[in-house]
Amino acid sequence: MNITQEEIKKIDSENMWGLISGFPDHWKQVMELTNGVELTIEPGRIKNICFAGMGGSAIGADLIRAYSLKSCPHPVQVVRHYDIPDYINENTLFIACSFSGNTEETLSALSSAMQKGAQIIGVTSGGELKKRAITNGFDYIQIPGGMPPRAALAYSFVPLFRIFQSLGYLDEGDEALDETYTLLKDGVTNFQDLTGNDTLAMAEEINGSLPIIYSDSQMMEPVNLRWRGQIEENSKMLAYGNLIPEMNHNEIVGWEHTAHLTGRLTVIMLKDKDDNPRVTRRMEIVKELVMDQALSVIEVSTIGSCRLARLFSLVQFADWISMYLAVMNGIDPTPIAKIDILKSKLAEV
């Protein structure tokens, strides 16, 4: 399929193309903005960490949780709800993530965490979250606003990297941030090429099907979620996903009765060199078991030397696939009409 910049401009009324292209610029800007961030929390009190956030504001928390799985000494949870777990107390580091600062679920969770005496950090562009931070005197990191949260992942993630870095919870440092910036910058150059690139080719392959995304359940879990979210919000397509090894104990049997879906399912397997070897073998077997029922089975592997760069290599890949899927179907990627309708109806209650 031939796509031109003129077609993209006609469809993309709010410049999602520019926002996705700006990912490395956002990354570099927020690296500088958060360099040497100072916190007033007491590290010695921390025994567990809880993030609160929704949608695009929460994906950064999911990524730092998975990224720090083998380096952070404390349990980490991401809450996407109004309510918080009962274990939260004065020994909890509670990090409220809301790009707008006005996410009602996050603000509700924040109120409960404050009542329980947790140490609080806010990450936001402003709004009510910033007001509460100033009024109640807890730490916050202000990030630039003015874009959809899903297009602001650099701004949502890097501050969390800096927080964990300052607490000594990471085994990679500034060099990982630098490598990731370079990888993202190179990626933009490659993926903008309308004469042909890997993301455009994959978008053409999965277009018109239901993407089913499988990955290891550890570092790749939030990347799996990001792929689904970007395809759903930008491309306005349903996308489904599951994790290995868990799906081997239930979902794999569901592939026995898919005749009515012949030609409609595309399997995408996200892979990283640090996947558990048994999971890697399981992926190979899953591929063998589903390839006759799926339209195609596509394997996508991370690139980069450090773990952070590898993580974001597939995050960026999904951004561009979702953009190309939108353009192929004449869909403006930015508006999220059903979410707006849902919010307006909730406001009536």
Give the active site residues.
Answer: 233, 249, 343
Q: How many residues does the chain have?
A: 349
Q: Rg (Cα) of the chain, in Å, rounded?
A: 20
Return d(Cα 228, Cα 173) in angstroms, integer: 29
Structure tokens at 22: 């700006």
H or E, element range at 48: strand 48-52
Structure tokens at 287: 């591929």
Q: Smallest Cα–Cα separation from 314: which of 268, 246, 265, 267?
A: 268
**All residues at 6 or more sequence positions from 333 whose CB lies less than 8 Å from its CB, including other chains:** 11, 12, 16, 233, 234, 235, 322, 323, 326, 327
Q: Label each residue of 293-346 as H, E or C.
A: CCCEEEEEECCCCCHHHHHHHHHHHHHHHHHHHHHHCCCCCCCCHHHHHHHHHH
CB 275 within 8 A of CB 305: no
Q: The tokens 């073998």 sit on which residue?
A: 281
End-to-end distance of the chain based on CA atoms, in angstroms? Answer: 46
